[in-house]
A and B are shown apart, each in its own frame.
Chain A
């Protein structure tokens, strides 16, 4: 590849970097060194590949969505079925990788933050498998909204700690996980769930997720004999999108679309679209686009999808936006919900509300591109977890 980001200090252009308190600088250096070592260690890579095959169930299929293609009336649409992974989303690719690294580094305790609970479940899952202690930080508000996932994590043996500070959501859970890490550096590995945080996390999580696009490259050949014209993925922190995009960054003919949560509409201010409508700042260890006030305070975000409800975004997406390599757009809650129903009814696939944002944008893009073009959408997770949210919005009581 000729694309060579981040640089040695973790910068993607002016984005990324390491913005943490001094106490964490040395543990991050240790993590960097370990990751640099194991990423080129054949034994590590082999074990990772084997776990992805036998435990996660990879490769995930690339599915030609014929009826969705008909319905949208344009480009041929393929779905990358990350929803079929063990635990139901792409998150497990990364937790398998980081847990193997934690094991190699001799850490017996892993911690994680979670919003909707998908990353928490994926972390609790690998911790159970490797016999590690697992503590998951989750905003008190999110725990109420995602009670089933909280119980799932407990069944897997994890301790779920409610976070009551700030807005009591994902960003505060991340703060609290950082506070735990700084207190328990010696025995603890912090498994961050997205391509954010201080270097090396954005690059490391991207690398563990890059298998998504890596598989798409050869899978699409069987159907089309060529690369796709466009890739579409939702972007909260941005790990499923980076995982899909990364292996295509050097193929300029492949257009990249990241779809943010437009919430109730960008004009209302009630959204979670920092790339589309935010400003550059520093949060959670890196410089990136943020949702913030003029005074630099982080503001609460809004999205029907808890997994996209985050005020920042991975620094590599900030760079891909500014460099013009990727396009970032937003769709509203209502558009995402409509897409959820369309895919469920005509393809028999119930997408996560996060992934529904990508489907909703493809509805606009497919007719623009026309029938001779090819779109791959990352179906990053399954929608079972969202059934309750959808029912509540539609006034249905169980």
Chain B
């Protein structure tokens, strides 16, 4: 059983939803990333989404764009991101880590080389925002050969046929993009999200996470009522940005933000156990 499967099955037994924070590796400084990852877990994160900085983050709003820019000022490379995961694994062997980013840095490394190095570092899955399943055969094969999960997005614009097509190649979990827009936008329509998540659930046993636009404990709790996982990115990255001048304070701030999200999500009664 993969680390992701194991984590979701444990949560299901506990009647809890997964809290998945997103941070950009190397933001605001490379030395902060590993302590920050540990702090997120201490605060209550179940799975970590680690962003690979990219010069042209087309699907991201200003908050995460600027996180990439801060990291790239330190010339953070994909190799270094993988080293950070290795270092994190020295003290944590059970929290799944998913890399999230854009295809080009992985293309530059080569799919095979990436899959091999990611698996060796202790990465569990990869989500490449600009790689739809139509173009992903080779990449998915490379990931699977190393027991890594290819994680895909579904969006409000994905019709039934696209949902089927993506479910056919995805594993680990499904990441549902809760709005038409970029990361960190603020116009979440909970009713619409809930209907779409229900529709996706009918077609898959994979856990369904929801992200984009979830910025507060209340929003996390609302989404936790019907999704298996709640992804919080921009709201966390904004807190990191605010402390960029005093990076040593970042892990504590992140820990307490996670704890607030966790507390709000855990009071939600998880009536219907999902995932099958």
Contact = CB atoms under 8 A, between A and B. Distances in A.
Given A185-B157, A281-B104, A282-B103, A21 B56 contact: no
Given A20-B132, A26-B162, A179 B78 contact: no
B57 interface: yes
B131 interface: yes
Nearest to B157: A26
- Greatest chain A CB density within 10 A among B56, B106, B135, B166 is at B56
B62 interface: yes
A182 B180 contact: yes
Contacts of B59: 21, 23, 179, 182
A19 interface: yes
Contact of A297 (B54, B159, B162): B54
Interface string B100-123: 001111111100000000000000
- Greatest chain B CB density within 10 A among A17, A22, A184 is at A22
Contact of B57 (A17, A175, A292, A293): A175
A142 to B, nearest CB: 16
Contact of B177 (A9, A17, A22, A281): A22
Interface in A86-121: none
Nearest to B152: A22
Contact of B105 (A183, A186, A296): A296
B129 A296 contact: no
Contacts of B154: 22
A19 B62 CA distance: 21
A80 to B, nearest CB: 33
Contacts of B260: none
Contact of B132 (A25, A185, A299): A25
B182 A179 contact: yes
A297 B55 contact: yes
Contacts of A23: 59, 153, 155-157, 177, 180-181
A22 B176 CA distance: 10
Contacts of A293: 108
A296 B54 CA distance: 8
A165 interface: yes
A281 B108 contact: yes
- In the complex, which range does the number of interface residues on chain A fall in? 35 or more
Given A23-B157, A165-B69, A166-B69, A282 B55 contact: no
A178 interface: yes
Given A17-B135, A19-B130, A295 B105 contact: yes
Nearest to B187: A183
B108 A183 contact: no
A278 to B, nearest CB: 12
Contacts of B56: 166, 171-172, 175, 283-284, 298
A228 B126 CA distance: 51
Interface in B117-172: 129-132, 134-135, 152-159, 162, 166
- Greatest chain B CB density within 10 A among A19, A27, A284, A294 is at A19
Contacts of B157: 22-27, 185
A22 B153 contact: yes
A18 B58 contact: no
A165 B181 CA distance: 17
A380 B169 CA distance: 45
Contact of A175 (B58, B152, B180): B58
A171 B65 CA distance: 14
A43 B205 CA distance: 49
B178 to A, nearest CB: 11
B180 A183 contact: yes
A287 B108 CA distance: 12
A61 interface: no
18 contacts: A9-B134, A17-B135, A18-B132, A19-B103, A20-B130, A21-B58, A22-B166, A23-B59, A23-B153, A23-B155, A25-B158, A166-B56, A166-B69, A175-B56, A175-B58, A183-B181, A295-B78, A298-B104
Instruction: Give 6 nearest A-B pairs by CB, closest first.
Output: A296-B108, A296-B105, A23-B155, A26-B157, A183-B181, A22-B153
Given A9-B134, A183-B182, 7 more contacts: A18-B132, A22-B157, A22-B166, A184-B180, A290-B104, A295-B109, A298-B104
